[in-house]
Amino acid sequence: MPVFTLRIAEPNDIDALANLHVTVWRDTYRELAPPDAFVALDVPKRISFWRDKFAHPAAGQGIFVAEAEGEIAGFTLASSSSNPEFGDMAEIKFLYVSPAFKRQGIGRRLIDKAASHLMAEGYRSAGLGVVEGNEPAIRFYRALGGNEAGRYTDAGPLWRSSNIIYAWPDISVLTL
């Protein structure tokens, strides 16, 4: 098992974040997303997305990466939620781990980092959205004690996916 480190993401990580974002997204949603979403999601679009996240951070935003074997093996983004279905909860917006590094504890450590960051920002509860049918993610979040707390349809821009909200009323349970 490779050794990995966690750190705060930096603007010079944007290209690596964009590439990993597209790779993991396409791997995760290959059976769930419509074909036009795969065409629409490309590295330049994600580079633009990540540039915007660094230039205009949301309230309480934290972006963290896990590095292994000299590369970014996973990332998470957590902040306040702009989604009304989350109410006052913070949102873990992304948790992506490279297929080459799955099932090695990286996702769990990134969740811990996101939860610790959100707690330091004053949040006490958090939630995240999971696309219906993403069974590996659903099992992972349930194993972490997440409870289904609602549903919503993602507004896009890639596809209007149906999502399940998993919530932790006390995010301290997500810390190691």
Residue 80's DSSP bridge partners are: 90
Band (1; pLDDT cuts 50, 70, 90): low
CATH architecture of 4-174: 3-Layer(aba) Sandwich (3.40)
Amino acid, single-letter form, for residue 159: W
**What is the enclosing helix (H) or strand (E) of 53?**
helix 43-55
Of the given ranges (3-17, 30-44, 88-102, 128-142), which has the lowest mean pLDDT? 30-44
Distances (CA, A) of 131 to 22, 24, 50, 155, 175: 16, 14, 21, 13, 24
Residue with tokens 């944007």: 14
pTM, 2 dp: 0.94
Residue boundaries of the structural domains of the chain: 4-174
**What is the enclosing helix (H) or strand (E) of 114?**
helix 106-120
